[in-house]
Amino acid sequence: MASFGYTVAGFGAGDVGLREIAVDAIDFNGTTSVVAYANNLFQYIPAQNTDPAEDSTHTISFWLKPETITDADVIVSTDAYGTFPSNDIQLRTAGAGTEQIQFSYIGSNNSNVFFVTSSPGSITTGAWQHIMLTWNDFTPTLYIDGAVDSHTTSGSGTDIPASASDGTHFGQRYADTGGYDYDGCLAEFYIDLNHYNNTESFRSTAGKPVQVPTPLSNYFYLTGDSTTWANQGNGSAGTQTLTSITDCADSPSD
């Protein structure tokens, strides 16, 4: 187990002073591993509608270390192939040197999708990378290891409400073990309703956040190990089930 502690200032609404929290990275085997939540984590990302200043700001941040990458390996997905709407984050590749990460914002049907896709070759295997996508109104900015990536956007995706009753699966396309499974490690999946343009607030000299920003509304800060991957935020992901999860041999701070 690669576990370590660090101090966080102002962690969560109402907290005062510094808190130390333990962080572990978990490992998905690329076939049967899944962390399943009963609720939809993406319910806290509002719809893109006629009021973008109010409804289209959010930040997603996490660390990943892929061991292998095949096209459409899913890191996290909500109920994408049952009840729409949904969201997912997946790895894409058309061959060696083209590996990239894609964020999908799926609306009321499968043709209503907005994609944010990193540049070809921006994702590598066998090494930790920090991924941060932050939206300011209708404008997404993607950071990889703290640097702005020359990502592309495509699709419409103008109708993206989200229901809490849609489940969330980490490590695979929702409820589907048909070859779209993530093979690698994951740490510190963070999501909330704020736009951040200062990536240093997510990074310390150890490669970890120096401060978890106090949110305007619900957020999640998921971290843990193969026994418990805990919800450290003030949102609610519902019942958690871990299947075939092991501890990653190292962590982003190593």
CA distance 9 to 1: 25
In the prediction, which pLDDT does 107 show? 67
How many CA atoms lie less than 13 Å away from 141 in the CB half-sphere?
Answer: 15
In the prediction, which pLDDT does 220 show? 61
What residue ranges do the domains of the chain occupy?
4-247
Letter string b/e over residues 30-58, b meaning 16 or more CB atoms within 10 A of that residue's CB: beebbbbbebbbbbbbbbbeeeeeebbbb
**Tokens 């998905």 appear where?**
28
Helix (H, G, I), strand (E, B) or coil at 186: strand
**Tokens 């109104």 appear where?**
137
Each residue's pLDDT, cut to its tens digit, for the chain (254 residues) gives: 333 333 333 333 333 333 334 456 889 999 999 988 888 777 766 555 444 445 567 888 888 999 999 999 999 998 755 555 568 899 999 999 999 999 988 766 566 778 899 999 999 999 999 998 988 777 889 999 888 999 999 887 555 556 667 788 999 988 787 788 999 999 878 877 777 766 666 654 445 554 555 544 445 666 666 776 666 655 566 677 889 988 888 888 66
- CB burial of residue 155 (10 Å; 0-12, 13-18, 19+): middle
CA distance 87 to 4: 31
Q: Which residues contact 15 (CB under 8 A, 6 or more apart)?
A: none
Could you tell me if 208 and 23 are in contact, meaning their C-beta atoms sit under 8 angstroms apart? yes
Number of Cβ within 10 Å of residue 218's Cβ equals 16
In the prediction, which pLDDT does 161 show? 57
**Is the CATH code 2.60.120.200 the one for domain 4-247?**
yes
> Per the structure block, which two tokens stand in for 101?
């990460």
In the prediction, which pLDDT does 50 show? 42
- CB burial of residue 116 (10 Å; 0-12, 13-18, 19+): buried
